[in-house]
Amino acid sequence: MSGYSSEEDEDLQTIPKKSEVYLGYVDVAFNKTEDEPTVEDTFVGGQPIWLHHGSPPSADLISCKSCTNPMSLIVQAFSPLEDSLYDRIIYVFGCKNDQCNRKKGSVRAIRAVCKDPKKMEEAQNEQDEEIKAQLQDKLKLDNARNFLFDGNKQDSNPFGASTDSSNPFGGSSANPFGVPAAASNPFASSAPAPTKTEEPAKPSFASIAKQSAPAPKPKTKSTITKKLPEYPGYFLYVDQEKFNKKPAQKQPNLKIDDSALDLEDESNSASGSGSGSAGLSAESQAVSASLQDSTFQHFSEVISYNPHQVLRYEINGKPLLATSSDEIAKVVSERLIPRPGFNPSSERRFELQVMPKLIMDFEDEVNVQGGIEWVTIIVYTDKEDFTPELDDNHVGYVEEWCGVQWEEPITTKTRR
């Protein structure tokens, strides 16, 4: 548990009553719908969609630092910041070469922004018009309330036939007490989220968190200039994390060998007392240590409430660590996340992480040679969202901090 304070350890062991985390779940596969992903979608696998078809990132940003081969898209998350006027995407790439597993730079996170002045001006005008309409509606409602409940207007009959403009029930067609149009509320229904074919417009993690996002701009499709190796593609739908009653069955999130399930019996048999691990094989001791890690237990506990999550998003939040025994846990717990080299006066904040269920979704559709060995991928981004250079299309890319917690290197070839 090196690197954890008692306060942080206590926080890790507590399931909160409510959560500000937004979860991504696999929806329909690309090959099972006629819809194609756009820059305003959040999805996993497939080919990346750049913010401008003429502005892909440089080849070195999407190449593995170990083997230098092009990487595959794991996640693309459309994540415009609240109150911002520009488009923003977080990409997570990973190398499909199994020889690069566990090697630094085999999984990378890229942040992209598009600060097109024309589009930003249009977005500003849309926001201004929306705010103006909201203020006008509020003013009408306030005036009507003041008229009805003002004791100085006892001689006035609000239900009379007067055509005075101060009578909210007069000839005017505007009724401030009419039933308002239904607002767009992502939490209005508890029914399962519709598939991509039923509801093409998917909210981003950032926009759904606002709960009052403006009407989306028309989507513009983008093409890729270079085809990358790829995983199966799926659209994601987003919902707020809820802690309902856990299902009783074993969760499919973590790839733990069944030998771990009877580990306690094996320990009792080997030691003769059930109180030690001297008689365990090396791999069984490794499994035992993993299962006894309170951080891992908390990770499994939180996932068990929403076992199908493949993505967690909470800007300025805290990542869900899978283990306390690796270097990533130390860096995160001791707040040693490196400052962005492109903006050294700033610092980074947690934004999103990829969850182990996604491995199963990828492997269900295609045989991933060598296997995927990460448990979770954690991404921190620049707090100031600074991009030092934009191209002629007003697009810029920077690499952000990406921490990977890998599966424990356990082999189970030797079985009693």
- The confidence score (pLDDT) of residue 38 equals 95
3-state secondary structure of 113: strand
Residue 150 lies inside a defined structural domain of this protein: no
Question: What six digits make up the tokens of 94?
Answer: 């990973």
Task: Compute φ and ψ for 138, nearest 5 degrees.
Answer: -65, -40
- The confidence score (pLDDT) of residue 287 equals 55
Q: Which of 340, 320, 326 is nearest to 290 (CA)?
A: 326
Residue 89 lies inside a defined structural domain of this protein: yes
Contacts of 181 (CB under 8 A, 6+ apart): none
Q: Which of 34, 33, 30, 32 is nearest to 48 (CA)?
A: 30
- The confidence score (pLDDT) of residue 283 equals 54
- The confidence score (pLDDT) of residue 163 equals 47
Low-confidence ranges of the chain (pLDDT < 50): 1-9, 12, 156, 158-201, 209-224, 251-253, 256-277, 411-416
Task: Compute φ and ψ for 247, nearest 5 degrees.
Answer: -70, 155
- The confidence score (pLDDT) of residue 256 equals 46
Residue 158 lies inside a defined structural domain of this protein: no
Residue 149 lies inside a defined structural domain of this protein: no
Which residue range is the domain that position 35 belongs to?
Answer: 6-120+196-406
Residue 271 lies inside a defined structural domain of this protein: yes
- The total of structural domains in the chain comes to 1
Q: Mind listing the pLDDT tens digit for each residue in 309-329?
A: 999 999 999 999 999 999 999
- The confidence score (pLDDT) of residue 207 equals 58
Residue 141 lies inside a defined structural domain of this protein: no
- The confidence score (pLDDT) of residue 124 equals 83
CA atoms of 375 and 299, how far apart (whole Å): 11
- The confidence score (pLDDT) of residue 137 equals 86
